[in-house]
Amino acid sequence: MYLNNLNPSVKALTILGLVVALALLFDPVTPALFTLCTIAVTFLFGDFRRKYYLFYLIPFTIFAIGMLWTTIAFADAPKNPAETIGLIWWEVPREDVLVALSLSFRVLAFATMSLLFIFTTNMVEFLLSLMQQLRLPPKLAYGIMAGYRFLPMLTTEFRQIRAAHRVRGMGRESRWKRYRRFAVPLLAGAIRKAERTAVAMESKGFTGTRERTFYRNIRVRKKDWLFPAGMGAIFLLLILLSLRFDYFSWYQGQL
């Protein structure tokens, strides 16, 4: 599928660019429409387990709704308190609702864009691309890769430690002390393993210099530019629409 084969650096930079551009705007409609477009693009051009996508999107939506409510509840005094909207049984200033909606949809737009990236990108290819296209030092890239590999190992370790502590009869102490008792064996084990991994990498001739060849060469092809062009076009179209229907506004450290 197109999104999965897209050059990861191009994909990441496009998304980052769009996020910055979206952050400059402040109205409820543009991010809402953009969210829908992003989801559509993800589903049309991405190959992934559809069920998991929803599984991830739901908490994001809850988060956005939570944000909506807190922003309204703790809002600054509005400029036009007279204009209100009835939210079921609660009268709130119109202005506050608009601000809250803008913030919440922006969060959703960011979230769907990051999901687009996460669901269609292979972590290893991303790091390889960062090295090959964006000149990330290999020492850092492979160091991160080695660290990332620890993730599943750490989960098992964590469970082991929890069970082991239960046998020792933990639980009489304050929460902070318990955290510390957990953290020390977990981190100590991880650090020792990290050191061993580094030694193993060096013994395979890894020096961290840029002089190396690659088993997988990640390139930027012509069709990769379709993604920034297409997403940029959607974004501009939405801005034109917002200008046309007059709800466009810049973000001014709201409000």
Partner 1 sequence: MKNWKLKEIVVMSVLSVVFAVVYLAFLPVGKVLTGFFGPIGYDLIFGIWFIVSIIAAYIIRKPGAAFLSETIAATVEVLLGNAAGPMLLISGMIQGLGAESAFAMTGYRRYNLGTLMFSGMMAAVFSFVWGYFQSGYAALAGGYVLLMFVTRLVSGVILAGVAGKALSDALAKTGVLSGFALGKEKRKKHAA
Partner 2 sequence: MNVQNLSLQYDDMDAPILQNVTFSLGEKECVLLLGASGSGKSTLSRCLTGIYPKELEGTMEGEVTFEGKPVKDAATGTMSRRVGTVFQDPETQFCMLTVEDEVAFGLENICVPSEKMEKRVETALEEVGLLHKKEAAVISLSGGEKQKLALACILAMEPPVIVLDEPTANLDPVATDEFVSLLRSLKELKNITIFVIEHDLDPWIDITDRVLMLGRNGSLFYDGPLQQGVDRYARSLYEEGIAVPGAVRVAMESGRTAPPYPLTARGLAPGLSAPLKAPPHRENGPSLMQASGISYKSIFSNVNVTISEGSFTAITGPNGSGKTTLCRLLAGIDPVSSGRITRPFPDKDWFQHAGYVFQNPEHQFLTDSVWEELAYSGAEDEKIEELLEWCGLTDRKEFHPFTLSQGEKRRLSVATMLVKNQEILFLDEPTFGQDAKSTSRLMNLLEEKHRAGTTIVMITHDMDLVDRYATRVVVMKDRKIGFTGDPDELWNEDLAAFQLKEPFRVRTNRLIKGDMYVPQ
Q: Residues interacting with partner 1, by CB under 8 A? A: 15-16, 19, 23, 56, 59-60, 63, 66, 70-71, 73-77, 96, 99, 103, 107, 110-111, 113-115, 117-118, 123, 137, 139-140, 143-144, 146-148, 150-151, 154, 176, 180, 183-184, 186-188, 190-195, 197-199, 201-202, 206, 208, 253-255
Q: Which of 2, 56, 63, 206 binds partner 2 (CB under 8 A)?
A: 206
Of 158 and 214, CB closest to partner 1:
158
Q: Which of 188, 233, 240, 243 binds partner 2 (CB under 8 A)?
A: 188
| Residue pair 47/4 in contact by the 8 Å Cβ criterion | yes
| Count of other CB atoms within 10 angstroms of residue 209 | 9
Question: Counting every residue, how long is the chain?
Answer: 255
**214 sits near partner 2 (criterion: CB under 8 A):** yes
Which of partner 2, partner 1, none interacts with 115 (beta carbon under 5 to 8 A by kind)? partner 1
Coil, helix or strand at residue 92: strand
Among 13-21, 68-76, 147-155, 225-233, which window interacts with partner 2 (CB under 8 A)?
A: 147-155
Q: Which tokens sit at 46? A: 């991405």
| Residue pair 46/112 in contact by the 8 Å Cβ criterion | no
**Residue 118: CB minimum distance to partner 1, A:** 6
Name which of 168, 167, 169, 165 is nearest 184 in CA terms: 165
Report which residue type is found at 24: L
Report which residue type is found at 255: L
Report which residue type is found at 52: Y
Q: Which tokens sit at 192? A: 């020792």
Name which of 6, 14, 2 is nearest 44 in CA terms: 2
**205 sits near partner 2 (criterion: CB under 8 A):** yes
Among 25-33, 38-46, 108-116, 191-199, which window interacts with partner 2 (CB under 8 A)?
A: 191-199
**Residue 187: CB minimum distance to partner 2, A:** 11
Q: Which of 20, 82, 88, 163 binds partner 2 (CB under 8 A)?
A: 163
**179 sits near partner 2 (criterion: CB under 8 A):** no
**Residue 8: CB minimum distance to partner 2, A:** 15
**232 sits near partner 2 (criterion: CB under 8 A):** no
CA angle 247, 231, 141 (to 5 degrees): 125
| Residue pair 251/23 in contact by the 8 Å Cβ criterion | yes
Burial track 94-119 (b if 16+ CB lie within 10 A, e otherwise): ebbbbbbbbbbbbbbbbbbbebbbeb
Of 197 and 242, CB closest to partner 2:
197
DSSP codes joined into one string, 143-157: HHHHHHHHHHHHHHH
**Residue 207: CB minimum distance to partner 2, A:** 4
Which residues here bind partner 2, judged by CB under 8 A? 123-124, 142, 145-146, 149, 152-153, 157, 160-161, 163-170, 181, 185, 188-189, 193, 196-197, 199-207, 209, 211-217
